[in-house]
Amino acid sequence: MRDLIIIGGGPGGYVAAIRARQLGMKVTLIEKEALGGTCLNRGCIPTKAYYRHAEMLRSLSGMNEFGIGGISDWSFDLGAAKLRKEKVVQNLVSGVGDLLKGNGVEVIRGQASIKSPEKVLVNGQLLEGKRILIASGSVNGVLPIPGNDLPGVLSSDDIINLSEVPARLLIIGGGVIGMEFACIFQAFGSEVTVLEAAPNILGKLDAELVKRMNVYLKKQGVQIHTSVMVHEIVQAEEALQVKGEGKKGMMLEDSDAVLLATGRRPCTSWINSDKLGIKTDQGFIMVDDSFETSVPGIYAIGDVIAGPMLAHLASREGTVAVERMAGMNSHLDYKAVPSCIFTFPEIASVGFSEDEARAQGISCQIGKSQLAGNGKAMTMGEREGFIKVIADEQDRIIGFHIIAPHASDLILEATLMVKEGLHTNQIMSTIHPHPTLGEALQEAVMDIHKEAIHSMPARR
């Protein structure tokens, strides 16, 4: 009898497995495909590998600013980039396997089927465990429009396996996935157009950051059309044509490839939830504070439960779930979950947006800092950026929003501020090293009290 059977070897499942072993549990992990899940094999890591290629290309195009010449005849080989991406992924997949083996986790490859709260069938073998943890992640959402199965119509899984850069790329969906690929492939050389059904791209982001990001994307040459309903995709003689209706009526866009970036849905269809008695809501498994489902002994974490679909959140949920199983009083603070978007510049957020705070009746205090006034940013040649901090009536920091190079690294300090409910004076009195991008975070906090040093004072 095992203490725990985990279904899914992504960042939620494998982290939970290792933590459970640290706590002395006998653990079996079942994974039907490669260890690491979507994040490692088809999501976070492959796209960030490509993002690095895009960064290099952008740097090459700006070499004149740094007095570097003689390299104008460079070219980009997506096939070579694909091979590098696959090598990075394989190294990390192997590393996860080694970690699981080193921690004594039994790994079984195959499709799992839950037969009861203590029994799981895989490869014809019936496994028994005191508890079961579902961590099967998510899959691409399917846009139900005619033509979504035509050659050249791609999912996010497909686009990372292209060997040639499409001359024209049309992206349906202006969320995180769509905008990351828009920036990557624009840097690769594609002419990129984005169609978004909502009034704005990146809809859950602070509205002021969305407005600023639209300006940056336009400068890069990414065309964005919002409030567009796509009706169908058809094959023309030399192109795919996307037909839709926008603010100015009917529209027709030609493209060499179309990316469907309309979100993801929980991978729960394999679970016979009705027979088992597991309660769900719109496909998501319902859980309590211990991540236990409506069936005692069966738990769920990550993309299969409601909330942001983030790898680092799934990992923390997995850790908390097994620690609660072991009798520890662990908890997860959902108000301090950072999110990062790898566009140019990067975007990172944690805590309340201004609109969310005001909707809850909080009298916000707002501080801002422009990256154009930051010495490190200027030396990098990365002057475009904006930082916004939100504090409540008691001067506690409740939200941080960053558009800047390395925003995904800068958000770490901001996350700690929000998680611990730090007060503005604690950040203002903390020495930030110079010259760094991190100084801009402190400047934004100081601006709440009109004490920022490197910002021009408002006219009286």
**Topology match between the domains 2-140+265-332 and 153-262:** yes
User: What is the chain's alpha carbon radius of gyration, rounded to the nearest angstrom?
Assistant: 24
Sequence ranges of the domains in the chain: 2-140+265-332, 153-262, 336-448
Report residue 299: phi and psi, to 5°.
Answer: -120, 165
CB atoms within 10 A of CB 111: 13
Query: Which tens digit of pLDDT belongs to each residue from 297-317?
Result: 999 999 999 999 999 999 999
Confidence tier at 455 by pLDDT (50, 70, 90): confident
CATH 3.50.50.60 for domain 2-140+265-332, yes or no, is: yes
Query: Which tens digit of pLDDT belongs to each residue from 180-216?
Result: 999 999 999 999 999 999 999 998 899 999 999 999 9
H/E stretch holding 72 reads none
**What is the rounded distance in angstroms from the CA atom of residue 41 to the CA atom of residue 14?**
14
- 434 pLDDT exceeds 60? yes
Q: Catalytic residues, which ones?
A: 434
CATH number of 153-262: 3.50.50.60
User: Which residues make Cβ contacts (< 8 Å) with residue 333, sequence separation at least 6?
Assistant: 419
Superfamily covering domain 336-448: FAD/NAD-linked reductase, C-terminal dimerisation domain (3.30.390.30)
| Mean pLDDT for all residues in the chain | 95
- pTM for the complete prediction? 0.95
Residue 281 token pair: 């809501």
Listed residue (152, 130, 181) closest to 5, CA to CA = 130
C-alpha separations of 191 from 183, 224, 285 in Å: 10, 12, 40
- 272 pLDDT exceeds 90? no
